[in-house]
Amino acid sequence: MPSSEVILAGLNAIANQWRLLAIFWHGYFIVLLFGLVFGVRPRTQRIGLLLVLPLFSVGILAWLHGNPFNGTAFALTGIVLAAIAVRSSREAVTVAPAWVAVPGALMVGFGWIYPHFLDNATPLEYLYAAPTGLIPCPTLSIVIGFTLLLGGLRSRTWCLVLAIMGLFYGVFGAVRLGVTLDGVLLFGALATAYVAFSPLLRTVNVKGTVDER
């Protein structure tokens, strides 16, 4: 694994060289969010696949900027979650109750404005160009946030995979890299782990069986 200095330099380079891509991902997520707000309820399978795409984006950029560890980790995570999504329920997603939705909204907000790595950026720029979809922590934060908003997507395995990634990158960012705000990701990871084993996931799928994948 590269040194902390090399990793930070790579993350900084990605955040600043790929701002247009970050703007795209902000638009992508706002479409998903507005759709949910205005009552659009896609199938769980479809929303799962949509949430996987930014993870692949992080992996590709990591490889391009000389960080094979992040590149491999996010590629594998994306593949695993895509496989889970393909096998998931074909029912429409539902918005979680408030005790899960509120933490989810907070994690979406944190991932949306993630205030780090942009050079000479104004607070306004972070609203549309924060490195979401580009680097690990804000991307995991926003994907975890949507997962919580949607009640864990009816999948225990989905939640646990994201919780493990969130715990690792939250601790790694805060402790190894010294980016203390990455500690917020720990909150989202723990909330996702809790949802994984909560009664919220004991939902009945279209075949009448409990879906706890």
pLDDT in tens, 136-173: 999 999 999 999 999 999 899 999 999 999 999 999 99
Is the pLDDT at 211 greater than 50? The verdict is no
In a domain, 59, yes or no: yes
Bridge partners for 204 per DSSP: 210
In a domain, 186, yes or no: yes
Contacts of 163 (CB under 8 A, 6+ apart): 144, 189, 190, 192, 193, 196
Domain range enclosing 139: 4-200
Residue 77: which of 114, 47, 48 has the closest Cα? 48
In a domain, 43, yes or no: yes
Residue 77: band (very low, low, confident or very high) from pLDDT cuts 50, 70, 90: very high
Helix, strand, coil share of the chain (percent; to 5): 75, 0, 25
Question: What total of structural domains would you count in the chain?
Answer: 1
In a domain, 213, yes or no: no
In this prediction the pTM is: 0.92
